[in-house]
Structure formats: structure tokens, C-alpha cells
């Protein structure tokens, strides 16, 4: 068993550059353990990840605010506090805050994460998919 006390969290810091566009505050909730890593990530308005994929998938749990998640197949879907997203193994996607809101999510990542190119402003501002109240 491994118990990670909240007060002992490390890795807290502002991230930008090779994985994120905009200002993102992230802390390592659980360092990589048995190929699972958990990050709690606070995206400022307009901030988002680069395109990327997870070797064995990823679970996102939105704790606060409003955000977006996007895949090639599904387009951009809105996220709100309480939403949960399953990103299947190897599916290219990105996630982040809405343009006018912070968004905090827990990200449970399985296996290696492979990072690709930034999400362009055009991609970020693309129309949201219909029926965006549900994430399925
Ligand atoms: Mn992801």
C-alpha cells in the first residue's frame, strides 16, 4: 500500500510550454505508481493541454468550473463540475478550461502519455458539438 498525504504533495507548479497552452497550475496527487499517475490540474480561462494520448487511457473528473474536451471523432464537448470523462487508450484528445472560466480536474492517467502539437486558437474556438449537456 502507498498512502500519499495531501500535505506532502509535491510537483506543484505552474506549467506551460511543452504540454500546455496558457497558465496551468498542476500538482502531483500520486506520483507514478504501477503505471498510474494522478494529477490535479487547475486551468486558467483559455488554457488547455496540447494534443496527446494515453497508452492505457485516462479518467478525468471535473471538480470545479467549466471546461472542454475534444477528440477528432467527437469534436469539442463542454465539461462542468461533476462530469467524468473516459479517454480510451491511444485516442488523440485535448482538454482545458472554457474561454471564460477556470476548470479544475483530477486526471488519472494510465500508462505513458505521448504529447503532440499545441491546440491552435482556431481549433480551440471551433463550435461546440450539439447535445453538449452530456458527456458519453
Ligand atoms: Mn488527456
Mean pLDDT of 15-39: 88
Query: In 3-state terms, what secondary structure has residue 92?
Result: coil
**DSSP labels, 116-135:** -PPPPHHHHTSPBPSSTT--
Residue 22 located in a structural domain: yes
Cβ(41)–Cβ(105) below 8 Å: yes
Gap from CA of 128 to ligand 1 centroid (Å): 18
Count structural domains, the chain.
Answer: 1
Out of 11-15, 97-101, 126-130, give the one with best mean pLDDT: 97-101
In angstroms, what CA-CA distances link 43 with 23, 24, 32, 33? 7, 5, 22, 24
Asked if residue 133 belongs to a domain, the reply is: no
Using the structure block, give the residue that is written with the C-alpha cell 500519499: 4
Q: Is residue 102 in some structural domain?
A: yes
Tell me: pLDDT of 130 over 80: no
Average pLDDT, the chain: 90
Please give the distance, rounded to the nearest whole angstrom, from the Cα atom of residue 22 to the centre of ligand 1: 16
Distance from residue 3's CA to the centre of ligand 1 (Å) = 24
pLDDT above 80 (res 43): yes
pLDDT tens digits for 66-96? 999 999 999 999 999 999 999 999 999 999 9
Reference 93, options 53, 59, 57; nearest CA is: 53
pLDDT of 7 reads: 62
Ligand 1 centroid vs 8 CA: distance in angstroms?
A: 25
Is residue 3 domain-resident?
no
53 CA distance to ligand 1 middle (Å): 6
Domain holding 40, by residue range, is 9-119
Q: What pLDDT score does 54 carry? A: 98
In a domain, 2, yes or no: no
Centre of ligand 1 to C-alpha 57, Å, is: 8
Question: Ligand 1 center to residue 93 CA distance, Å?
Answer: 6
Distance 89 CA to ligand 1 centre (A): 10
- 67 alpha carbon to ligand 1 midpoint, in Å? 13
* Distances in whole angstroms, Cα of residue 14 to Cα of each of 21, 43, 61, 71: 11, 10, 20, 25
Residue 64 maps to a domain: yes
Which CATH number covers residue 86? 2.60.120.10
48 vs 131, residue with greater confidence: 48
pLDDT at 119 (0 to 100) = 97
Q: What is the pLDDT of residue 13?
A: 63
- Percent of the chain at pLDDT exceeding 70: 87
Amino acid at each position: 500500500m502507498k498512502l500519499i498525504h495531501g500535505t506532502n504533495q509535491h510537483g506543484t507548479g505552474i506549467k506551460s510550454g511543452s504540454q500546455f497552452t496558457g497558465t496551468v497550475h498542476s500538482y502531483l496527487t500520486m506520483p507514478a505508481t504501477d503505471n498510474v499517475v494522478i494529477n490535479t490540474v487547475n486551468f486558467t480561462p483559455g488554457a488547455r493541454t496540447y494534443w496527446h494520448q494515453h497508452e492505457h487511457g485516462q479518467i478525468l473528473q471535473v471538480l470545479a468550473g467549466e471546461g472542454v474536451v475534444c477528440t477528432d471523432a467527437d469534436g469539442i464537448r463542454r465539461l462542468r463540475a461533476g462530469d467524468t470523462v473516459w479517454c480510451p487508450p491511444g485516442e488523440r484528445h485535448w482538454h482545458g478550461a472554457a474561454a471564460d472560466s477556470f476548470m479544475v480536474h483530477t486526471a488519472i492517467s494510465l500508462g505513458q502519455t505521448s504529447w503532440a502539437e499545441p491546440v491552435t486558437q482556431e481549433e480551440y474556438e471551433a463550435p461546440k458539438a450539439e447535445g453538449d449537456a452530456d458527456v458519453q
